[in-house]
Every structure is written in C-alpha cells, then in structure tokens.
Amino acid sequence: MGPIPLRVLLLMMVLAVVAAAEPVSTADDQYTWPQWKVPQVKNRHTVPLSSPSFSAHHQPELGGTCGIECQRRIPLPSLDDLEKILSYETVYENGTRTYTVVSVQGINEEPIWSTNVSSRSRHKREVYGTDTRFTIADKQFSTKYPFSTSVKISTGCSGVLVSPKHVLTAAHCIHDGKDYLDGVQKLRVGVLREKSKRGKGGKGRGGRAKGRKRKGDKAKEGVEKNEETQGTGERRGRGAGRKSRSRRSVEPNKPSFRWSRVKKTQVPKGWFKGVSDGLAADFDYAVLELKKAPKMRHMDLGVIPSVKKLPAGRIHFSGFDDDRPGNLVYRFCSVSEESKDLLYQYCDAKPGSSGSGIYIRLKEPGKRRWKRKVIGVFSGHQWVDVDGDGVQQDYNVAVRITPLKYAQICYWIHGDSKECQVA
C-alpha cells in the first residue's frame, strides 16, 4: 500500500478520536473479557506411531468448507466423536511420532452463535477491492508488542506466540490432511530481530539517534492507543519507518530473523482427512513448542461468545504476506458472518499470512485495563458452502477458539488441565 496523503491521515485520526469519544454501550460487560469455565481435555493414553514420511510438498488449497447454514444441519457431535476429533498427533524433532487419545470432561452446552447469512457471492481472491493492509517496516515498531508476537514459520506461514516458547499456527502450514509437509522435520520459527546496535559513529550521531528514539516512543504510544479504533497508530508507525529509512540504509527485501528450532508439533485429529467429514477447516490449528524461548512477550488466548460482543465487530492480525517479503503486514477488518467454529471476513491477506493470530482487545474483568488476546487463527482463503446447497462462496476465513479448543491448546501449552479451568 502506497504512502497515505497527509490530509487523509489527519481525517482518519480525527475520526478515530470521535469514535473513541462516543459512548459505545451502556452494558460495560460487552467490552469485558468473559470468564468461561472450560471443559477438561485429559490424556487417556499415548501410543507410538511410525515416523511420518514428510511427503506433502504443498500446502493444501482449502475448499469445500461446511459453512454457516450447512453446519446448522449437521447433528451435534457425540462425546465419542469429540474425543476422537480432539485426540492428536505429536511429531518430535528427531522424526518420531505419537498418537494421544484424550477424554473430555465437564462439557457444557455451547453458547448460541449468530447465524445471519449473507448470500452475496464474492470474487476470488485474497484482496477485496482496495488493499487495506499496512506494512510495519520499521523494526522500532515491528519488534514491539503486539506486533512482536507475530512469527514466521519456515514452511512459509505465520504464527503467534501464545507462551514464552509455544507458537499457535494453522494446521495446514505443517500438514496437508494426509501427511506432514516436506520441511517439517527441520521446522523452524523466526522472530524479527531487534534494532541492531549502532557501531562507530561519534557522539553527534548518537545524539541524533537518541532524539529520534524519543519521537519513536511517542509514535509507539499512538499505536497502542489507536490500534483498536482505526489503525492510525500503524499508519503513523509506517510513516516513521519511511523517515527512518531515509536516514540509514535498510534493505527491506532482506528480513533479519532470529530462528529457533521446533522441539515438537501437535495437530488435532479433527484436521486429518477421513476423521471429521466436512469439518476439517474447523480444526485448522496446531501448536509448535520451541527448543529455546525467544524472550519475546507473548499474547494469551481468549474466548468470545459472539462477534456481536466485539468492539465494532473488528478483528486484528499481523503476518508475513508473501507479496511483501521481509516486512510484517498488519490489517484489521470487521467480521461479516460467523459459525460456531469459524469467522468469515474480508480482511485483505496474501499467502504467507496463514496461521496468524486473530486478536482483539477487551477490558480485564474488574479492572480498567485493556488486554489483547488471541481469539482465533487465520486459516486463509477458502471456498465455503454457506447454505449447504453445494454452491461455494469466496471468503477469507479464521478458525475461532471455542472453549473446547481453548482447553486443548491450553493443555498442550501447560501440560496440566488444572491450569486451564477458566478462559
């Protein structure tokens, strides 16, 4: 996306301030993280499997997803079905593999989700109309929270840090539904390097650098303040990036990452072909455990009951889109429709952003402080059978974190279901 005219930028900033000043709701709990008592997903037993062949060479082109009305016609899965879907495979760094059967306890009736459906057809592909993505090119911003939680997967996807050493990403980034991708046996995760230390340059250069840092800190405060309204902070950050690049040599097409090897990967069986007919996209998520924590701040997981509870129905995510190599790309958009397991939206995205963490910001219960949490995983472009009549529509889709998925992912992270009682 090209430079934004100053007049347009100022207008957007004014609109953001006006929007922030308007009373959004008299029900304050609509903007507070709900507290969920989640089910427990416990390991029943684990058996060894033969090593995978890592024969898949391409990430699958997702399609045939059972959409909103389609899902309404599917009977609710039994407890046995849920346990089969949530059982999972683990692949270790040395190529060995195990299969873990789980039990699900304390499951309650899921909340009622919005089922309003738009029958408008869409045109392929990932960018709809004007490209509204924002490049976070300056490391002064891309290596600071919340952008610093975004990571790059060596298979070509993105992910998000959900613990000091765990990354949440899309299952299709490491598995095509039949086998693991070639390269998963040497899977790595990269975080953008911090701004490099200045070498020789004299006190004069150092003095100017210090002054720029103070301005950058003010710009970063703007990012934190306005990100959840109209994204003006990201625009300001991008402008600061252009100013900074004009003063020192930077090669934007040569990213600088710190890479960490992956110790193990875990994928739910619900993603595997033949296990959950028509529901694979609902379980397009995986967790990677790193051998060494990158010492970056992570983002916690969250569960929301409905898009109607979101501020303006808006979601945010950042990833490493293929068409902007070396740069972190941020975007936000409103969720158009939702089902129990998926969020349908028109966030502009390109290959490479799959696996990014979808996040929002709400108030912490009983506090005035706002906190960002990951509520889903960006799955990417999909053809969706919305009405169940075989006619597919074009969407960009995200897998939402439900209480059950929260319980499973949280267990993968902590290894103890007692740590995962409340979302």
Size of the chain, expressed as the number of residues it contains: 423
Cβ atoms of residues 284 and 175 within 8 Å: no
User: In this model, does residue 285 exceed pLDDT 60?
Assistant: yes
> CA-based Rg of the chain, rounded to a whole angstrom?
21
Q: What is the CATH number of the domain that holds 60?
A: 2.40.10.10
Residue 12 lies in a domain: no
Of the segments 133-142, 176-185, 376-385, which one has the largest average pLDDT value? Answer: 176-185
Which residue's entry shows tokens 């709990």? Answer: 29
Q: What is the pLDDT of residues 193-224, one digit of tens each?
A: 865 544 444 444 344 444 444 444 444 444 44
- 245, exposed or middle or buried, with CB in 10 Å at 0-12, 13-18, 19+? middle
User: pTM for this one?
Assistant: 0.77
How far is residue 423's CA from residue 415's CA, in Å, rounded to a whole number? 16
Residue 304 lies in a domain: yes
Residue 347 lies in a domain: yes
Of 252-256, 361-365, 394-398, 409-413, the least confident: 252-256
Cβ atoms of residues 262 and 190 within 8 Å: no
How far is residue 193's CA from residue 422's CA, in Å, rounded to a whole number? 34
Residue 74 lies in a domain: yes
Of 6-20, 281-295, 406-420, the least confident: 6-20
Mean local confidence (pLDDT), 255-262: 89
Predicted local distance difference test score (pLDDT) of residue 67: 63
Mean local confidence (pLDDT), 369-382: 91
Report residue 44's pLDDT band, with 50, 70 and 90 as the boundaries. very high
Predicted local distance difference test score (pLDDT) of residue 370: 92
User: In this model, does residue 333 exceed pLDDT 50?
Assistant: yes
Predicted local distance difference test score (pLDDT) of residue 344: 87
Give Cβ neighbours of residue 298 (< 8 Å, ≥ 6 apart). Answer: 149, 161, 162, 163, 164, 166
Predicted local distance difference test score (pLDDT) of residue 184: 95
Question: Partners of 299 in the beta sheet?
Answer: none
Higher-confidence residue: 86 or 240? 86
What is the sign, positive or negative, of the torsion defined by CA atoms of 266, 267, 269, 273?
A: negative
How far is residue 419's CA from residue 313's CA, in Å, rounded to a whole number? 30
Predicted local distance difference test score (pLDDT) of residue 308: 67
Predicted local distance difference test score (pLDDT) of residue 13: 39
Geometric angle at alpha carbon 189, from 183 and 195, rounded to 5°: 140
Cβ atoms of residues 289 and 310 within 8 Å: no
Of 173-187, 191-205, 404-418, the least confident: 191-205
Of 73-82, 90-99, 146-155, the least confident: 73-82
Report residue 246's pLDDT band, with 50, 70 and 90 as the boundaries. very low
What is the sign, positive or negative, of the torsion defined by CA atoms of 337, 148, 157, 246?
A: positive
Residue 286 lies in a domain: yes
Which residue range is the domain that position 163 belongs to? 27-194+207-420
Domain count across the chain: 1
Residue 78 lies in a domain: yes
Tell me the two tokens of residue 194: 């911090």
User: In this model, does residue 262 exceed pLDDT 80?
Assistant: yes
